[in-house]
Structure 1
Amino acid sequence: MEIYNDIGSDSGVVSFQTAADSISIKFKKSDQVYKYTYASAGAKNIEAMKLRAISGDGLNSYILRNVQNKFVK
């Protein structure tokens, strides 16, 4: 997994890994890795999450506002 840059030093995200149709996220307060897919969260949301992950800003708040529990279970 790639370390999340966290430009504002205020994120709950530690690391992420992207794939063609998904993004996996590791949060500070959990040992679990959460996988969000096109099927579970929608392609538009996944692509928006990838952009935020790569930029190192806004990923945690985007997840909270848009896809909080839409990970693969």
Structure 2
Amino acid sequence: MKKYKNKEGNSGVTGYEAGNDNIKVEFGHGAVYLYTYASAGKRIIDKMKELAEEGQGLSTYISQQVKDKYEARIK
């Protein structure tokens, strides 16, 4: 899991791990969610990967656009 840069300083996201067709996102409360092309769509997952690498905007994007389109809660 890579540490999320959190450039704005107030993100609920603390880490992420991008795969070919998915992204795992770790939140500050310890939960890890798996988002996949199958659960959220390629466009959304690719945008999540881009925001994760930038270290800015991922938590907001998830709460406003992605919502509950995760495949599984891993932890």
TM-score bracket relative to the smaller structure: over 0.9
TM, length-normalised to structure 2: 0.92
Provide, for residues 5-38 of structure 1, a one-character-per-residue CA deviation record: whole Å limited to 9, x for no partner.
Answer: 0001010000000000000000002x33100000
| Structure 1 residue ranges (4+ consecutive) displaced by more than 3 angstroms after TM superposition | none
1:1-73 paired onto structure 2 within 5 Å: 1-29=1-29, 31-73=30-72
Percent of residue pairs bearing the same amino acid type: 39
Amino acid of the structure 1 residue aligned with 2:18: T
| Structure 1 position 68, deviation (Å) | 1.3
For residues 67 and 10 of structure 2, the distance between their equivalents in structure 1, rounded to whole angstroms, comes to: 17
Give the count of matched residue pairs. 72
Q: Partner letter of residue 4 of structure 1?
A: Y
Structure 1: unaligned runs, 5 residues or longer: none
Whole-Å separation in 1 of the counterparts to 2:14 and 2:69: 19
Partners of 2:44 and 2:59 lie apart in 1 by: 13
**Helix, strand or coil at the partner of 2:71:** coil
Q: Which runs of 5+ in 2 are unaligned?
A: none
